[in-house]
Amino acid sequence: MHKIVFLDRYSIIADVKRPAFPHEWKEYPATSADQTVERLKDANIAITNKVLLQREVLDKLPKLKMVAVAATGVNNVDIECCRERGIVVSNIRNYSVNTLPEHVFMLMLALRRNLLGFRADVRNGEWQRAEQFCLFTHPVSDLYGSTLGIVGNGAIGKAVGKIAQAFGMKVLIAEHKGAADIRPGYTAFDKVLEQSDVISLHLTMTKQNRHFISTKEFSLMKPNALLINTARGGLVDEAALLEALREGRIGGAGFDVLEKEPPREGNPLLDLDLTNFIVTPHVAWSSRQAMQILADQLIDNIEAFIKGVPENRVA
């Protein structure tokens, strides 16, 4: 009898079906660091969204054979340790290829058309006092004819590019930063920064990608360019972003992620009172439809492991 423990069940809102093999199922709304070992001590399969499973935890779990990550990112799991221990790790892939690009364009449109600025003006009575029927207090720019730079050309990056083309945007796909050779269909990274009206990040979070966008990169961008980040907060140097926004070096930014989440100790970006900066609380991925796809794939991964043919394997 396989024992499956879901450490943070409340991290997804979906109907999680039970695996089609004999098993014992235990789930917890959330799990703190000091509860993890106790809850997994008899488990063969652990399900985690964000609960940390690092070496000091894994070494205390001799019965563990699989970690099913209920997300795409696996930076909360010590992959090297799992490989050493023979623990299979599977993640979720391509579940948000519809919902996340929609969020990207929600942010992009709101910023290009100055939604927050006009909303504030209406609330403050500016339209009501206007001498004509239109209020021209903020510039409005179309997506049509503008250039979108996509950094990270995986499934989501490609989906964003497809929507951009439907809007009539020119799409540039960034080559790896510092690459000597440029692949067909790609554009040098620095040129993408220099030529794009909007830059959208779709990279994974690695040690090499930390602060991928910082002061140098902001200096290369157009003064009216927008930066959209729905990937990982650590990709952008937040201090450099704060400075760029306050000094008007870029046109604006739309973020769904911060470097530390949740921001319990605050974050200077949350205190920005600017109509050209939008931050949403890491929800770009979270449509009910996407979460159901995630939940279904999660159990498919577990069933594939039990059959001896692991899918979506990262370790």
Q: How many C-beta atoms surround the C-beta of residue 259 within 10 A?
A: 17
Catalytic residue, chosen from 23, 282, 303, 311, is 282
State how far Cα 291 lies from the chain centre: 14
Catalytic residue, chosen from 56, 80, 243, 261, is 261
- Which 3 state secondary structure label does DSSP give 252? strand
Task: Give DSSP secondary structure letters for 153-168.
Answer: -SHHHHHHHHHHHHTT
- Which 3 state secondary structure label does DSSP give 34? helix
Q: Is 245 exposed, middle or buried (0-12, 13-18, 19+ CB in 10 A)?
A: buried
Whether the Cβ atoms of residue 281 and residue 267 lie closer than 8 Å to each other: no
Beta bridge partners of 88: 66
Q: Tokens 């943070």 belong to which residue?
A: 8
Q: Is 136 exposed, middle or buried (0-12, 13-18, 19+ CB in 10 A)?
A: exposed
Asked if 123 is an active-site residue, the reply is no
- What span, in angstroms and rounded, lies between the C-alpha atoms of 204 and 154? 10
Catalytic residue, chosen from 202, 217, 232, 238, is 232
Phi, psi of 15 (to 5 degrees): -85, 105
Strand order in the sheet with 66-69: 23-27, 2-6, 45-48, 66-69, 88-90
- Which 3 state secondary structure label does DSSP give 290? helix
The single-letter DSSP state of residue 261 is S
Asked if 103 is an active-site residue, the reply is no
- Tell me how far apart the terminal alpha carbons of the chain are, to the nearest angstrom: 23
Whether the Cβ atoms of residue 294 and residue 68 lie closer than 8 Å to each other: no
Asked if 18 is an active-site residue, the reply is no
Residues annotated as catalytic (active site), given as ranges:
232, 261, 282
